[in-house]
Structure 1
Amino acid sequence: MPELPDVEGFRRVLRRAAGRTIDRVDVTDPGVLRGADPAELRHALVGAAFAAPRRHGKWLVGPVRAERRHRADEPSVVFHFGMTGSLIWTSGDTERHRHDRVVVAAGSRELRYRDLRKLQGIRLLPDDDGVTQLLHGIGPDAAGVDGAELDERLGRRSRRLKSALTDQGVVAGIGNLLADEILWQARIHPSRETLDLTATDRRRLHDRLQGVLRRSMRVGRVPGWPSWLTGHRDDPDGVCPRCGTRLRRTRIGGRTTVWCPRCQPT
């Protein structure tokens, strides 16, 4: 599932399309549109251009502009990539993939929204107020949250830490892979209660959260590096890359959770 680093990668893709006048919009599968139909999407985009995109957690906002700058009363295209969505910026001559659901053409290039399972998709919001309403209730973008705010949001009620980190109302953008990696690097068991964390735990958690996000955002995905838990979590007999202990797995909050029993004691 795309998480914050993946969406940052897609933001960089959309940024390459920004400023180019849109000539054509092909909707090959309206099933990925949420709250809009193909004609409305074409009307909003053809002849206009994307302004600089922004990311909020797992959401990607593409403001639309008719003139030099996006105005607050102009629409935005908002992408959520669900389990299998992605954005591709490519030559219009490149053969289309069978899962390219929406194609936005600008000159000789095309921005393609590709999605196998269509669990989320593309929304067309009429103005900036509509974007604000859509994102209401979502926590702050995890890459920008400071230690004090993270402490405050995690401390609102007692719950298991893995579940709290992956709750988009607490912080936005952390999914299953990131949560396991952050907790492994912080040496904190995923079942720890949020209210039981010590001051040292909380400082280490915030430090590792920011460190994992910074490195992952550089490559635009959650990397499966050999020195990271993510490089071993899917191995049938995976071992901890730090101490060599056999990794354990369970389900927390309905999500497969992997940890090292030696590095992350209960």
Structure 2
Amino acid sequence: MPELPDVEGFRRVLAEHAGARIRSVEVRDAGVLRGVSEGRLERELRGHRFDRPRRQGKWLIAPAEGPVLILHFGMTGSLSWHSAGEPEHRHDRVLWRLDGGELRFRDMRKLQGVRLARDERDAERLLADLGPDALDLSRSDLAGRLGGRRGRLKSALTDQSLIAGLGNLLADEICWLARINPLRQVRDLDEDDIGTLHRAMRRVLRESIKAERVPPRRTWLTGARDDPAGRCPRCGTPLSRRRVSGRTTVWCGHCQPS
């Protein structure tokens, strides 16, 4: 599933072509359109130029001289640049043709997709329920957002209305690096825990952004979590697994005691 680092990679792809004129928009599958028709998407973007795009968590926001394109990549989405005439993939859903090539929104499962806001104010309205981008959070911001919360830490970290951008892999990796059990109650975290959690979040995000994904390194939890017999890369203890808020949660019972 694309998380904050993946979306930052997609943002950089689009940023490389900011300023290029949109010659046409072709919708191969309207099943990815959310609240906008094929005709309106083409009509309002054709002839415009993308301004510098930005990221808010798992959302990519691309102003285009008035209208604002908003992309969410669900579980299997991506945005990539292709030269003109390059064969299309069967899961390419929307194509924006620019001078010299085209941007392609590709998505197998079509769980989210493409939105179009009338302007920046409309974009803010569409994203009003979204929390701040995880990489923008200071230690005090994180403490304020977690303060008074009920429930398990894993659920809080992956709540997009609280913190935008952290998905299943990132949340588990952050907790593992911080040596904090993801099943702990948020109200039980003290100031030291919050500080450790914030440092771990910054480190994991920065390293993942470099890789444009949560990297499956042997020294990271991600390098072992998909192995049914996986062991902690730090101490060798067999990893524990449990469903939390519908997500498979992985941790080390030794390094992250409850």
**Counterpart of 2:64 in 1: which secondary structure?**
strand
Residue of structure 2 in register with 1:86 after alignment: 78
Matched, 1:8 2:8: yes
Runs of 4 or more above 2 Å deviation? none
How high is the sequence identity, in percent, across the aligned residues? 55
Structure 1 segment 223-262 matched on structure 2, within 5 A: 223-262=215-254
Distance 2:130 2:37 in 1: 26
Structure 1 position 213 matched with structure 2 position 213: no
Give the corresponding residue for 1:69: none
Aligned to 2:169: 177
| Matched residue, 2:114 | 122
Find the partner of 1:138 among 127, 130, 138: 130
Name the CA distance, whole Å, in 2 between partners of 1:157 and 1:121.
31
Aligned to 2:104: 112
Helix, strand or coil at the partner of 2:16? helix
Identify unmatched segments of 5+ residues in structure 2. none
Deviations 1:14-37 (A, max 9, x none): 112211111111111111111111
In the alignment, the residues of structure 2 paired with residue 75 and residue 44 of structure 1 have an alpha-carbon distance, to the nearest angstrom, of: 7
Q: Classify the secondary structure of the residue corresponding to 1:2.
A: coil
- Contact 1:183/1:189, CA 8 A, preserved across alignment: yes
**1:40 aligns to what SS in structure 2?**
helix
Amino acid at match of 1:90: H
In the TM superposition, what whole-angstrom CA distance separates every residue of 1:48-83 from its partner, at most 9, and x where no partner exists?
Answer: 110000000011001002xxxxxxxx1100000001
Does 193-202 or 121-130 show the bigger shift? 193-202
How many pairs does the alignment contain?
258
Could you tell me which residue of structure 1 aligns to residue 150 of structure 2? Answer: 158
State the alpha-carbon separation in 2 of the partners of residues 12 and 207 from structure 1.
25
Q: 2:69 aligns with which of 72, 77, 96?
A: 77
SS at match of 1:60: strand
1:39 aligns with 2:31: no
Structure 1 Cα separation of the partners of residues 248 and 184 of structure 2: 16
1:150: how far off?
0.5
Secondary structure at 1:204 match in 2? helix
1:194 aligns with 2:212: no
Decide whether the 8 Å contact of 1:10 with 1:87 is kept in 2: yes
Aligned residue for 1:29? 29
What's the offset of the Cα at 1:47? 1.0
Alpha-carbon deviations, 1:129-150, whole Å to 9, x = none?
1111011121110001001111
Q: Distance in 2 between matches of 1:217 and 1:156?
A: 30
Shift in Å, 1:218: 1.3
User: SS of the residue aligned with 2:22?
Assistant: coil
Aligned 8 A contact 2:45 2:67 in 1: no
Match of 1:8, SS?
helix
**2:57–2:164: 8 Å Cα contact kept in structure 1?**
yes
Q: Does the Cα contact within 8 Å between 1:158 and 1:193 map onto a contact in 2?
A: yes
* Aligned amino acid, residue 162 of structure 1: K
- In the TM superposition, residue 170 of structure 1 has moved relative to its aligned partner by 1.0
Contact 1:162 1:190 in 2 (8 A): yes
Q: Is the 8 A contact 2:77 2:107 kept in 1?
A: yes
TM-score normalised by L of structure 2 = 0.98
CA contact (8 A) 1:16 1:89 kept: no
SS at match of 1:79: strand
Q: CA deviation at 1:108?
A: 2.4
